[in-house]
Structure 1
Amino acid sequence: MLVSSLPSELLEEIMELLDKQDLLACALVCQALLGRCRRHLFQNKLEVIELVPRNISRFAQVIRSPHCTLGPYICSIYARRYYWASEDSVFTFIAPLLRRLPAVRSLRFRLQVLVNGTTVDDHFRQGFVTGFPHVTRLHLHCTFEQVRPIYPAPLQDLIACFPACVDLEIESLSNARIASSSNARPPPELHSVSLCQDAAKPILIWLDAAGHLGKITTLALPLLRVDVDDDDDIISIREALEKMGQTLRKLVVPFSQEFDSQFDPEMLRALDLSRFSNLQALIINDVSEFYNLEDGQGQTARLVGFVTQLQASTLEEISISLPASSYSGLESWALFDAHFASHRFPSLRRMTLEDPRQDKGFFRTALPKLFASGVLRVLDAVPVQFVAEDSK
């Protein structure tokens, strides 16, 4: 039987079952399935084009070739650019070729650059970063090396070079001094932002100045700390969050037991959950490297006091990841239990409590009302999960 005679739906189901090696082999031995194999490889991110100094010239030659048929299938690119590499200039001139890849929707970009007046245009406003007009997801790791006189890195200008971006993640900034303002406009459809510590203040201020904060529906904050000598950063973040109270739908907040400032009054004002009246999802992760096993009562009281500020009747999902052994205050968990078992949250559909130490019994004891009402059930999974059912 010829492959071409098989139903298209059957072929698609078969492709979904194949792993990367199977798809590559299939593409080699069956010309009729070449296009399907390539599409599944790239769309399912089994194959990501990686651009680094050692291969950037060869990649340019391939894309430039009239015989290249890969272009329409490439969906994701991971690029690493280092200012000290001898091939770095190729990144500047490759943008017109990259625009021949209309299916690219995701770019992960690791940039190391010596920031000064002669490099900012090539790295932040022109060249490589202008080659992705259709990218919707931008993931950045940046190292900005600086010498005197200090020239702030115009990170906002770089982001503005991606007009179709809707999902921005700035995972890391090193040696960073970011420009405090920019005339560049944020991507018009940008609505999901995940920020590392050094990016939070300048990016939120930029979005605010551009009148864009109201368009942000998903925000992942970094681990925030209060500087006792200079609290301008936390005040700026608080002012930005106040302007997002009506529009934010999903909030991700990490915290650490290693920093007392996590529950500093100024911090709590900045992260006042009561202002988010239309929030649908709250995700809280304890990212502590070392857990405090001696102050379980206090840790629990502070955490529960923070979370139970939430009053949004629109809430659909809560996810909290923490070690139960460090949050042993049953009285505080009783308040949590009563708060979220009440009818003030008619839309709540899912609650996940993750314990990396897998202490199942603790949460059964700590949350009796939620269990008794049938709202929560225990899944046999790692880590332990309690999932709220649609039973209200």
Structure 2
Amino acid sequence: MAQASVAARTAETVAARLGRRYAAERRFRLLGLASILISAGFLVLLLGTVVAKGWTGFFQTQIAMEVSFDADVIDPDGNRDPAILDAADYPALVRNALAARLVPDGDRSARRDLSALVSTMGAEQLRRMVAQDPGLIGAKANVWLLASDKLDMVNKGQATDTLNERQLGWLAELNKAGLIRKAFNAQFFTGGDSRAPEQAGIWGAVVGSFFSLLVTLAVSFPLGVATAVYLEEFAPKNRWTDLIEVNINNLAAVPSVVFGLLGLAVFLNVFHLPRSSPVAGGLVLALICLPTIIIAGRAALKAVPPSIRQAAAGLGASPLQIVAHHVLPLAMPGMLTGTILGMARALGETAPLLMIGMVAFIVDIPKSPLDPSAVLPVQIYLWAGSSERAFVEKTSAAIMVLLLFLVVMNMAAIWLRNKFERRW
């Protein structure tokens, strides 16, 4: 009886412990699931906020006007001199077209309010039309003119206080007459930066990012792969190599602004590289990517089984031939994955580029890595600090483009890993 009671108590104790263990496991699973749901919720909130504010940036408001290409304004001498045609008062043509439609009585105070309806790009549109077809001089034509950022915000429903009551009445009149439309904002993808929000584009920043990443890839990939191969395959195991490994791992965690200070001190002040240029930015980003590429490269080399090396050595291959002909090709997919992830991090960096002057307002599209330029994250930073309300949607739209690039680069890394990775 005593033995039976002891066994019963032992069974009860074990059952109670198992019950507590299972309960703890269920709580742990619920906590993990709750953490995932909370993280996903914040991610959806972030992306939803960005998309809600930025999708309208891919469209722009245009106004249809019947423009009279008055010869007295464009070419008073009638000799069709290109220099005179280029310097003509095209803003007057825009004002006259708006006044003829909205202020036929010639009210001067009302005419002053007309300037807030059409972008300064409208005059540039007319100048280009005349330059392409001088036969327009003296004729009339219906033209879709780019609206100002103030009218654009009101027409998109994102603001109501950027126009006064008279201007809001004109907008309602134009909408009623079917003279207002929303068109795809090609200028956003093909133009450079601008002080006027409706004319600002990301193409200059995209080209600057491309040149910067090109320099980063050209510098960091060969150096990173060579360093990983040497440390993993050839370097002797001693305190010096251990010290190098520790420093490489530490560099991967160093704040990026420190690399920007290094680039400012070395690349600009010592080597005198052009300030705000993609070549300087690319070199700084290469320093940031190197630890990631080296660590990923060493991990890829370690994943190659020793039997590959032993088989090659048994056939008489030299250590260099073993690495170059057998180990490195098998480890290259992992190295490429690490490189793409490092480049994706470099694409989103802002702080180190601010330190080397890539925060300047640059309108021109860079033609080479030596030309001054901005990059996409810095462009977003500049627009986010602008006082014009229309830059809010530009900022969010540019963030959407940047996120798209990052998603594509990470998907490319996953595709390379799944397609070429070998499981031993």
Shared fold, TM over 0.5: no
Give the structure with the larger helix fraction.
2
- The structure with the largest strand share of the pair is 1
Q: TM-score, normalised by structure 2?
A: 0.19
